[in-house]
Each structure stands twice: as structure tokens, then as C-alpha cells.
Structure 1
Amino acid sequence: MSLFEPLLTNSYLALLLEPLQFTFMVQAFILVILIAIPTALLSCFLVLKGWSLMGDAISHSILPGVVIAYIMAIPYAIGAFIAGIFCALATGYIKDNSRLKEDTVMGVVFSSLFALGLVMMSKIETGVHLDHILFGDLLGLSWENIIESAVISIAVIGFIVIKGKDLVVYVFDHQHAKAIGLSVKFLHYSLLVTLSLTIVASLKVVGMILVISLLIAPGAIAFLLSNKFSHMLWLAVLISVCCSVTGVYLSFFIDSAPAPTIILLMAVLFILVFSYQQINSAMMKRQARSNSDTSTKTSAW
């Protein structure tokens, strides 16, 4: 063994552990883990329920709430949460009282609220940086933000654990849930409130635009890889946490923004899994066709 090999090894180890020497990086790792778990769990329900656009709608609609919260000198999370709930309730009310489909209503409501927020920000002098709202400010957050995110994450995870079985029935078969006596309206609006809370917790981490990827990609990837909902939940959490931690880690070395790096990793993983599924499916079809041809020839003899 070379005399310089231990020193070289220690240098590589020091380089790999360099991000952990900075407080803001340690805070970033903690925050992404706190956000990755509830968003991954919710993503499974949203993917199966077909509520991808609902997450997008709520995430965009919180901008006016943030601006109003700044004007009233109250925490941004409160204004964002109220705006998100208003978007969900307004969407439900218009859908129930018109012939429009839910996706059409959501498109109108969230784009209108997002536009209202942009106009308010352009007309009112605020200390709110638009880039931080749109794309997050993961490396500029404090321990207070970590505590706030931890409280919301625990509340969301607790709700999913307690009402998980009822939510599964509601997501898979709305009519069956109603027939067996479950409160469908309670489950519906509880899921919306939980979704709004999760988006609020993710706002400062990845921003209102990129949060939709955290709420969809882990569940979509896990759906491609599993046939059981319980396996889907665990896979989604594992994928979300690994991509989030790896994204923050890589962003330190390639000097990029952490949030987009996390989302790009999830996108690459989705493409790899989807490609694998397509190749595997094609091979199985070819094998089945080959077995069929062989059987035909055998029977002919």
C-alpha cells in the first residue's frame, strides 16, 4: 500500500463530509427530510385519487395569502394556509353549482388567484422576495422554520396513520366508502386541509411551483414499481427522502439551487423506471409470442 494512500483517503472523506461542516447545510438536510416524508405519503393518495391538478391549484393559489399576511404582519404560513383552503372550497362550490368539470374549475380558480397575487406584489411594497416564494429558499432558513415544518409534518403523518384505512377506501372507491358508512365529506375536506398544510410547510423549502413535483413524483414512481398500496407508501417515502437528501448534497458541489436539483433527480428516476417498465413489458410480450409460436408448431407436429 502506498504511503500516501491513507492521506488521500482522508482527503476524499473530508471532501465528502464537507457539507456537514456548515450549519445551513445541516438545516437543509433536516428540512428536506421533514418535508419529504409527508409529501411522499400524500403523493400516493393524490396519484390514485387523480388529484394531481388539485395540488397544483392549491400551491399556486397561496400567493395572495402570503402578500396579505405580510401586510397584516402575521406569519406567512397562516395567510398561505387560508388562501389554499379558500381555493379548495371555491373549487368545490363552483363544481357543485355548475356544469363545469373539476379540472376546468381548478384551472380558472388557481390561475386567477395566482394572477391576483402577482398584481398585489407589484402594487404593494413588500419584503417578500418573489423568487423565494416561487422556488423556495432552503439554504436561508432557520431553526424556527425547522420547528414549524416539524410540527406540520407530524400533524400530517399522524392524520394519515390514524385515518389511513378510511382514506384508502375513499380513494379507491368513493361509493363503497359512502355505502359502508364512512363520512365521505369529512375525508374529502380533511384530505384537502392536509394537502394545504403540507404545501404551506413546503413553501419555504421548494417554493409553490416545484412543490407539485414532490406531491406527485414519488407516488408516480412507486406506483410503477409496486402492486400493493402499503408497498407503494414505503417506496414513495424512500424515493422522496433519498432524492431530497441527494439533491441537497449534490447542489453543494455543483453550485446549484437545491430545490430544482431535487426535482431533477426525481425526474431522472421516473424516466429510468418508466423506461425499465417499457423494456420489461416489451420483453415479456416477445417471450409470450415466442412461447405461443412454439406451442403452435408443436401442436402442428
Structure 2
Amino acid sequence: MTTAAVKWGTCMTDLIQILTQPDFQFLRNALIVGILASISFGIIGTYVVTKRISYLAGAISHCAFGGIGAALYLNRTFGLTWLTPMMGAVASALAAAIITGLVSLYAKEREDTVIGAIWSVGMAAGLIFIDLTPGYFEISSFLFGDILLISSRDIVLVLILDAFIVTATLLFYNRLLAVCFDDEFATLRGIHAHVYYIFLLCLIALTIVLLVRIVGIVMVIALLTLPAAVAGKFTTRMWKMMLLSIFFCMSFNTTGLALGFFRGLSSGPSIIIIAGLSYLIVISIQKVKPMIKKRASFIQLQK
């Protein structure tokens, strides 16, 4: 066993011991949310990667920041104490999902230009609202996430989202599958492909809002797509890809959380670095493997 493996095993053992201590409730909450959120991320990320709509997901995530800024402004300026930043994020993300979906389906303008405009305007609107809001706000947690600030209430929200995502996937699995691979064929079979496409974007919007709490708006696309991209290297079946994506997402969240905690690093970026390195390692192995086999075959022929 290598020295790195021994160190990592010791690190994980220490993490388990720390989690049993009462003073580390925040760490337990972070780990629980990271594991539970992986269910939604793995399922929805598979759809995003398969449909190749990560650019749409990016536009939705940045529009969510506009809703966060608007909610803070309305809360402080007009006394709407019931309006939380996450409620604003949900509203703006769903609105962005519907708008970007309609643009991609029906707009005669260049799709990439319109989506780029929505992407940047959503982010700019959030910053303007925060500038207009009385007082000072630390927006880094929204931009880069902080899984260590997760509360018990967030765990309940994650469970509700997981239940909704899993139920929707089970009920509409074949329809969403058809929309991802061939929406024209789905339409010919009597499936309202455009409706299910908008519905899929709304599911993505809800998942993105949850992701913002963990890794932030800036890095949201990485965690939504990298686990599914890694899973796609091992299988082409959609349901298997979802299960593998959930597993990889859980692994990245747990490993990144441990790395951030023991090394004093930000948890969100640590999770993304682990996911990115894993993806690079997998694709590198897949590129090198055929070369090794070819070399071995050549040596055999020489003999």
C-alpha cells in the first residue's frame, strides 16, 4: 500500500472520529447534505451531460444570483422578512429556465447570443440589487458556496428535492430519455417534447439552486456535469450512468469536504478540484489504455 493511500486512510479515520463529537454538528450536516444532494446532482447531471445543455444550465445558475440580490433588496428595503435569498433564487432560476428553454426552441435570434445575454444580465442584476440594498453583505458564500454553513433546515429541503427529482424521473423516465436523445422522434411518437424539455430545465433550475449552497454559482456547472461525465466513461445506459454519477458525486463531496477540513481549505473549491482531477485521470487512462494494448500486440507479433 502506498504512503498516500495510508495517509488518506488515516485522514478518513480521523474524520469519522471527529464526526462523532458533539461540537462538530456543522461538519455532520455538511456531510449529510453532500451525500443526499448527490442523488439530485447525479440524476439531473446525467440529463445535462446527455442532452449537452451545460451552457443553458450555466445561464440558469447565473440568473439565480439576480433573484438572490432582488430578495435581499426587497427584504431590507420594504421589510419583506419572509422573502429569503433562496426563495428569490428559486423564482429567478425557474423564470430563467422557462425563458432560456423558449429561446432555444423558438427564437429566431442566435441562440448562443441570447443565452449569453441572459447569463450576464442575471449576474449584473444581482450585483446592482446588492449595491442598492442598505447594509453590508458577504456574497462570497453565494458565489463560491460554503457547505459548512448548511443547517438542519437545509437537510430537510434537500430531502424534499431528492424525493421530487426521483419521483419525476421514475414517472417520466422514458419521455425524458426520448427528449434527450431524439426530440423529433419523440414528437412523432406523440410525446410533447417541448413541454418535457421545459420541465427538464425547471428540474435543472431547482437542482442548481440547491447546488449554490454547496459550491456557489461560479462553480455550479462543474459539480453538475463532472460526476456524470466520469460516469459516462464507464457506461452508455442512462440509468446506470445516473447511479454511477450519484456514487461519484458522493465520493467527490466527501473527499473534498475532508480535504478542505484537514488542510484548512475552502470546501467548495476542494470538491471541484477533486472532481476535475478525477475526470482528467479517467480520460487520460482511457486514452493511454488503447496505446498500451497496441504496444503489447506489436511486441507479441515481434516475438
Give the structure-2-normalised TM-score: 0.86
The DSSP-based 3-state class of the residue aligned with 1:17 is helix
Deviations 1:127-152 (A, max 9, x none): 64210110112112211121122212
Given that 1:19 and 1:249 are in contact with CA atoms closer than 8 Å, whether structure 2 keeps it comes out as: no
* % identical aligned pairs: 26
- Please list every run of at least 4 consecutive aligned residues from structure 1 whose deviation after the TM superposition is greater than 6 angstroms: none
Deviations 1:185-236 (A, max 9, x none): 2211110111111111222222111221111101111112223222211111
* Matched residue, 1:265: 274
Q: Does 1:125 align with 2:138?
A: no
Structure possessing the higher radius of gyration over alpha carbons: 1
Deviations 1:93-127 (A, max 9, x none): 44456433333321111111111111221232256
Given that 1:19 and 1:252 are in contact with CA atoms closer than 8 Å, whether structure 2 keeps it comes out as: no
Q: Does 1:29 align with 2:31?
A: yes
Given that 1:40 and 1:214 are in contact with CA atoms closer than 8 Å, whether structure 2 keeps it comes out as: no
The DSSP-based 3-state class of the residue aligned with 2:191 is coil
Equivalence map 1:12-91=2 (5 Å)? 17-21=17-21, 22-70=24-72, 71=74, 72-73=80-81, 74-91=83-100
Q: Does 1:171 align with 2:180?
A: yes
Distance 1:14 1:282, change over 3 A: closer
Deviations 1:64-107 (A, max 9, x none): 21122222431222211111122223334444564333333211
Given that 2:69 and 2:125 are in contact with CA atoms closer than 8 Å, whether structure 1 keeps it comes out as: no
The DSSP-based 3-state class of the residue aligned with 2:108 is coil
Structure-2 separation of matches of 1:49 and 1:205: 24
Alpha-carbon deviation of 1:276?
0.4
Alpha-carbon deviation of 1:16?
5.2
Distance 1:281 1:199, change over 3 A: same
Paired amino acid for 2:17: L
Moved more, 84-93 or 235-244: 84-93
Could you tell me which runs of 5 or more consecutive residues in structure 2 were left unpaired when the two chains were aligned: 1-9, 75-79
Deviations 1:256-297 (A, max 9, x none): 111111111101100110100100132345567x49x96xx9
- State how many pairs are aligned: 284
Given that 1:153 and 1:198 are in contact with CA atoms closer than 8 Å, whether structure 2 keeps it comes out as: no
Alpha-carbon deviation of 1:247?
1.2
Structure-1 separation of matches of 2:43 and 2:101: 23
Given that 1:243 and 1:262 are in contact with CA atoms closer than 8 Å, whether structure 2 keeps it comes out as: yes
Structure-2 separation of matches of 1:235 and 1:133: 28
Q: Does 1:235 align with 2:237?
A: no
Structure-2 separation of matches of 1:65 and 1:232: 32
Equivalence map 1:103-122=2 (5 Å)? 103-122=112-131
Structure-2 separation of matches of 1:26 and 1:206: 17
Structure-1 separation of matches of 2:54 and 2:171: 23
Structure-1 separation of matches of 2:92 and 2:161: 17
Structure-2 separation of matches of 1:47 and 1:150: 23
Give the structure-1-normalised TM-score: 0.86
